[in-house]
């Protein structure tokens, strides 16, 4: 099994790196290998993919998550 790395870019998208598959709400599958950028700002015209609109809108992102916040979210998410 390959390892996928997710990196939140400051003031930009979420970069996913590796071999993975995105599945939309209708069950459509989008296999991908390499770097894939997902919109975090909400301004992309091609959501969920990033189209660079965060730069034009000068979007700065959201607050950084602390390790304790991330651990708490992971615990709650796995219980759903």
Cα–Cα dist 35/50, whole Å? 12
Taking 70 as the threshold, does the pLDDT of residue 20 lie above it? yes
Query: What number is the average pLDDT over the span 45-61?
Result: 84
For the whole model, what pTM was predicted? Answer: 0.62
Residue 68 host element (H or E): helix 67-78
> Taking Cα atoms as reference points, which of 47, 23, 24 lies closest to residue 37?
47
What confidence score (pLDDT) does residue 72 get? 65
Domain ranges of the chain: 5-78
Q: Which residues pair with 36 in a beta bridge?
A: 16
* Choices 3.40.5.90, 3.50.50.60, 3.60.15.10, 3.30.930.10: CATH for 5-78: 3.40.5.90
Mean pLDDT, residues 67-77 taken together: 59
Residue 30, helix vs strand vs coil: strand
Task: Report, as an integer, the average pLDDT of 30-40.
Answer: 87
Q: What is the mean pLDDT of residues 9-23?
A: 87
Q: How many CA atoms lie within 13 A of 19 on its CB side?
A: 2
Percentage of the residues of the chain whose pLDDT score is greater than 90: 10
């Amino acid at each position: 099994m390959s390892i996928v790395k997710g990196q939140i870019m400051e003031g930009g998208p979420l970069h996913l790196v590796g071999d993975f598959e995105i599945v939309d709400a209708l069950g459509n599958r989008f296999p991908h290998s390499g770097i894939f950028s997902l919109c975090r700002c909400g301004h992309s015209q091609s959501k969920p993919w990033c189209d660079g609109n965060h730069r034009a809108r000068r979007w700065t992102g959201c607050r950084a998550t602390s390790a304790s916040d991330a651990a708490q979210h992971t615990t709650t998410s796995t219980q759903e």
